[in-house]
């Protein structure tokens, strides 16, 4: 074959150091019931947050707690840092990327102040949601329940 076919899968990498859990284990019904889409979460042991895919930054919430990414195959990913952290109005979050910027899988995109977030009564889960889940065939997550390191391969999306 002379022409290479467009990739039909997207690899997913850990967004931080910590325990990898199924999205159904997130203590927020909007995420755990998959209303926003399929995904997974990391219960972080530190505040460093990394891109789970190679792609483009398509949106950054003004409260800095959530970042929208898009792969070259059109997969849309929301990286949501913490639960109800929108109420912190950006406090406790430092971003290292801008909208329309290209990111590599495993590139640090943010830092969370876990102590500040916890002291405000918020959960620190880093949630990865495929917001256009209806366009994928399958999401496979490996190492569920394990302690993972940032940029470790944790799954694959089949298109």
Q: List the catalytic residues.
A: 80
Query: What's the CA angle centered on 52, arms 47 and 53, to 5 degrees?
Result: 145
Residues 6+ apart with CB under 8 A from 134: none
């Amino acid at each position: 074959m002379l022409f290479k076919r467009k990739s039909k899968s997207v690899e997913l990498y850990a967004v931080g150091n910590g325990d990898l859990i199924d999205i159904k284990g997130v203590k927020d019904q909007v995420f755990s019931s998959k209303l926003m889409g399929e995904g997974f979460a990391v219960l972080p042991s530190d505040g460093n947050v990394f891109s789970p895919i190679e792609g483009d930054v398509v949106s950054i919430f003004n409260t800095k707690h959530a970042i929208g990414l898009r792969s070259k195959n059109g997969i849309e990913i929301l990286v949501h840092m913490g639960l109800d952290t929108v109420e912190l109005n950006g406090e406790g979050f430092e971003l290292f990327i801008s909208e329309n910027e290209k990111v590599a899988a495993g590139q640090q995109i943010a830092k969370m102040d876990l102590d500040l977030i916890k002291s405000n009564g918020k959960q620190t889960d880093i949630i990865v949601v495929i917001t256009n889940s209806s366009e994928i065939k399958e999401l496979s997550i490996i190492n569920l329940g394990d302690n993972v390191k940032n940029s470790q391969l944790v799954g694959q999306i089949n298109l």
